[in-house]
């Protein structure tokens, strides 16, 4: 059997023998000129882009519509200084009562002595029981009037006092004195409750 016989036998057995023979360049040309369809855009990327757009829009909206930051304003009221005088020595004192204190006192406060200069005592006010707020009170003492105050009987630097006054004059005879004097704090609590 020769080569030609073998080729003829193979052609008869070939199922595609009726098809025309195609040159080799045809499949390569097909591959190079055939347009491949673009893959569809993934849906995740579209959803992610939409979410990012919504977040950006929300951020811009928040920045433009948010309430303005207000700094809290603290108003400090300038506290006044009150001038009081201590009355002269009285011969006798009646026992102090909360009713009389509440009735007579137009200004009552708790304070700490910060200075005793000559006949003037300066107290820093820590609490006002009655009357307008004050930061400091100066009391002009006349003679030994403070001897009728409860406690030691005189103002001492650094000590705490409860003081009541009527028409600018300090009430003595048990209505003013050292804050820790027996019964004085209770008297103020009952009078100014």
Separation of CA 76 from chain center:
17
Decide if 108 is inside a domain: yes
Decide if 144 is inside a domain: yes
Please tell me the least confidently modeled range out of 1-10, 35-44, 80-89, 106-115. 80-89
Decide if 88 is inside a domain: yes
| Count of domains observed in the chain | 1
- pLDDT of 95 reads 85
Residue range(s) defining the domain that contains residue 156: 80-191
Query: What is the mean predicted confidence (pLDDT) over 44-56?
Result: 90
Contact 147, 90 (CB under 8 A): no
Kind of pairing, strands 107-117 and 120-130? antiparallel
- pLDDT of 16 reads 75
Q: What is the pLDDT of residues 127-142, one digit of tens each?
A: 999 998 888 999 887 6
Decide if 47 is inside a domain: no
Cα–Cα nearest to 108, from 161, 180, 36 = 161
């Amino acid at each position: 059997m020769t080569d030609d016989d073998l080729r003829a036998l193979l052609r008869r057995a070939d199922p595609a023998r009726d098809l025309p023979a195609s040159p080799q360049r045809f499949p390569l040309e097909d591959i190079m000129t055939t347009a491949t369809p673009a893959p569809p855009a993934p849906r995740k990327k579209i959803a992610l882009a939409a979410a990012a757009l919504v977040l950006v829009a929300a951020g811009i909206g928040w920045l433009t519509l948010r309430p303005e930051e207000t700094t809290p304003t603290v108003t400090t009221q300038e506290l006044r200084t009150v001038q009081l005088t201590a009355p002269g020595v009285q011969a006798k004192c009646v026992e102090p009562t909360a009713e009389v204190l509440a009735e007579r006192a137009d200004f009552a406060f708790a304070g700490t002595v910060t200075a005793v200069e000559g006949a003037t005592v300066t107290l820093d006010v820590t609490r006002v029981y009655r009357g307008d707020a004050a930061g400091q009170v100066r009391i002009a003492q006349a003679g030994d009037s403070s001897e009728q105050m409860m406690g030691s009987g005189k103002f001492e630097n650094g000590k705490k006092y409860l003081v009541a006054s009527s028409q600018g004059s300090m009430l003595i005879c048990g209505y003013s004195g050292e804050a820790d004097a027996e019964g004085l704090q209770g008297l103020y609590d009952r009078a100014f409750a």
